[in-house]
A and B are shown apart, each in its own frame.
Chain A
Amino acid sequence: MANALPVEISTTIQSLIAQHKNMPGALLPLLHAIQDTIGYIPEDSYLPISKGLALSVAEVHGVVTFYHHFRTHPVGKHILHVCRAESCQAMGSEKLEASIKAKLNIDYHQTTSDGAITLEPIYCLGNCACSPAVMMDDEVYGRMDNQKMAELISEARAS
């Protein structure tokens, strides 16, 4: 199974496994490290991970798929998270969501055709005094409206 991965990725994953294997409760930190480094967690990495951490492949699969944050496929250059929680709803996030989807011409969990932006829902960014809020990669933006959103999207597309 591990052979299906390009050598470069396989080597990276092996070295991350070696770095993490002696940590107590190593699986989540390791999965974060893999996703941070290569952008996602390839299913072909389950076998080497399970060997390194003395788990079954099923356990690794179970953990990866339990958490919303982990993904098993490559994503766009940028990830746009749109908050769907109550505070943002109180400030019109539903309309914002609809206009973002229309502007990008995609739904949640999809990537724009130019590969620039992947759209994901999120449930609270802790920016609830400045709702509605979105997060582009690691940066949070508050009091969003269609105009600010359009600027943010074109900035992301240009970078």
Chain B
Amino acid sequence: MIKVFVPRDSSALSLGADRTAKAIQQEAQKRGIEIQLIRNGSRGLFWLEPFVEVATENGRVAFAPVQPKDVAGLFDAYFLNPDSSMAKAHPLNLGLTEELEWLKKQQRLTFARIGITDPVSLNDYLAHDGYKGLANALKLSPAEIVKTVTDSGLRGRGGAAFPTGIKWNTVLGAGEKGVQKYIVCNADEGDSGTYSDRMVMEDDPFVLIEGMTIAGIAVGANQGYIYLRSEYPHALHILNEAIAKAEAAGYLGDNICGSNHTFKLEVRRAAGAYVCGEETSLLESLEGKRGLVRFKPPLPAIEGLFGKPTVVNNVISLATIPIILDKGAQFYADYGMGRSRGTLPIQLAGNIKHGGLVELAFGATLRELLYDFGGGSYTGKPIRAVQVGGPLGAFLPESQFDTPLDYEEFSKIWAVLGHGGIVAFDDTVDMAKMARYAFEFCAIESCGKCTPCRIGSTRGVEVIDKIINGTDVEKNTKLVRDLSDTMLNGSLCALGGMTPYPVLSAMNHFAEDFVPKPKSALKKIIDIVSA
């Protein structure tokens, strides 16, 4: 039977993938053709969703983007037999998916299976190297697993870039023998411009489950929680379905794969507070409290969830563990540059022509991503600014587009890579407004525990408004810089502590937007327009 693939990823659904799938099913039925329709994950070429594929002997052939109105025409052109001359000539035929430049240029390690498999099929997962990492981990001692992760050079992909192996080692050595420990997956992906966590959870949930299981075995934790943002309802259902299947097949629960290890896993829903992406605030929330940031120390690795030693890792960090345990630390560490080892799943977003998921070894430049992959802006206007690393990341001007994606290189230009989201803006962007929004967002999301963030964010909005209105610009600019200094150095966590990144970078690189239009110029414009 011919296999037809239509993605079930949220972004594909947001562009009508369900309707396309239904239309294909109905048309096949009408014509008496038997097909096997598989709802796979997305390949991540989101400008081409719904991205339909037909399996052939030589690999899958892509037809995209396919709307319901295109379906009858595709059947008329015998698209189920992509080698036929009519199917080859069809304008939506993109040829073999694997041969698409956009995918070929990538180094997909964490995303190796994504878009290829049916996310909730355990058999599919196993047929594509799934659970090989766990099989190897079960042959190693906990200390050996931790060493493998340390040697791979993997650093926290949530944004803080702390070495994962070192964190695990702390938890491994924490507490007395037999003490309760936890693995917590931070799936509260709230940064604008990021969706790689969502893709992993929706499109390859077993890889996250496997990564967490290995983490549990490595540090001696028998309980895991995935703290999932409430904005991702599809991910919730898919994760729960995958967890149930993993339990039924003996990959979760007691005696995992016949070993004496126990690991149980539960998804907990967040409730729409951005600050709960901060690890201590997340732990408070998991305990059923307000998401107030905790003082550190003690580190969560020593006193975390319910006061017990806890590993808190981001989705991508945990989802990268299986391939490291499968192929070895050196295999992973061979990718990358400097102290940034391995690959980073980069998310192209905002005003970009070809938005989507690009997994590359560290070291590619922003310009390559924006133009070679992204194809420039969606609107066709020049890209004037990009924000890398979410709402707390710096805005970068064109002169910095040659910076390689590397934690240390970004830190040299007072910017962050964060979770790898890149949001592009064309030349219609008003950077004073973006700076104002950064303060506004901080004010909305502040947990309220520390003064610089709670009060500073609101005062920041007010002062920026004064600058925009042309009131005492010099005095108020000084005030914003002073306020930013207080927030940078005096906030308890990254929310208040990093809000100055977008604010000050906007002021430093795009000062012209903060200059009020002189009255004379305004009068001139009015004269011209009204004439």
Chain A residues proximal to chain B, CB less than 8 Å: 24-29, 31-32, 53, 59, 62-63, 66-70, 81, 85-91, 122-131, 133, 135, 138-143
Q: How many A-B residue pairs have CB under 8 A?
A: 156
Question: Do the beta carbons of A67 and B271 come within 8 Å of each other?
Answer: yes
Task: Report chain B residues within 8 Å CB of A63.
Answer: 288-290
Within the complex, what minimum Cβ distance (angstroms) separates B374 from chain A? Answer: 10
Within the complex, what minimum Cβ distance (angstroms) separates A41 from chain B? Answer: 11
| Top 9 A-B residue pairs of the complex, sorted by shortest distance between their CB atoms | A129-B355, A27-B288, A85-B192, A128-B349, A67-B271, A69-B272, A90-B350, A142-B14, A129-B46
Task: Report chain B residues within 8 Å CB of A29.
Answer: 268-269
Within the complex, what minimum Cβ distance (angstroms) separates B486 from chain A? Answer: 24
State whether the Cβ of B363 lies closer than 8 Å to any Cβ in chain A.
no
Contact of A126 among B47, B194, B424 (CB under 8 A): B194
State whether the Cβ of B407 lies closer than 8 Å to any Cβ in chain A.
no
Task: Report chain B residues within 8 Å CB of A89.
Answer: 434, 437
**Chain A proximity mask over B262-283: 1 for CB below 8 Å, otherwise 0:** 0000001111111000000000
State whether the Cβ of B72 lies closer than 8 Å to any Cβ in chain A.
no
State whether the Cβ of B231 lies closer than 8 Å to any Cβ in chain A.
yes
CA distance A91 to B428 in the complex (A): 10
Supplied contacts A66-B291, A89-B437, A142-B11, 9 more A-B pairs, CB within 8 Å: A28-B285, A63-B288, A66-B273, A66-B447, A67-B291, A87-B350, A129-B357, A130-B49, A143-B14
Contact of A90 among B14, B357, B423 (CB under 8 A): B423
Closest to A32 in B: B269
Closest to A26 in B: B288
Question: Do the beta carbons of A91 and B14 come within 8 Å of each other?
Answer: no
Question: Do the beta carbons of A67 and B272 come within 8 Å of each other?
Answer: yes
Question: Do the beta carbons of B347 and A139 come within 8 Å of each other?
Answer: no
Question: Do the beta carbons of B378 and A67 come within 8 Å of each other?
Answer: no
Contact of A87 among B10, B192, B285, B288 (CB under 8 A): B192
Closest to A68 in B: B272
Task: Report chain B residues within 8 Å CB of A138.
Answer: 233-234
Within the complex, what minimum Cβ distance (angstroms) separates A115 from chain B? Answer: 23
CA distance A88 to B378 in the complex (A): 12
Within the complex, what minimum Cβ distance (angstroms) separates A155 from chain B? Answer: 12
CA distance A138 to B13 in the complex (A): 11
Question: Do the beta carbons of A69 and B350 come within 8 Å of each other?
Answer: no
**If A24-B306, A27-B288 touch, does A142 touch B269 (CB 8 Å cutoff)?**
no
Within 8 A of A (CB), among B407-444: 421, 423-426, 429, 434, 437, 441, 444
Task: Report chain A residues within 8 Å CB of B198.
Answer: 126
CA distance A59 to B288 in the complex (A): 10
Contact of B11 among A31, A87, A91, A130 (CB under 8 A): A130
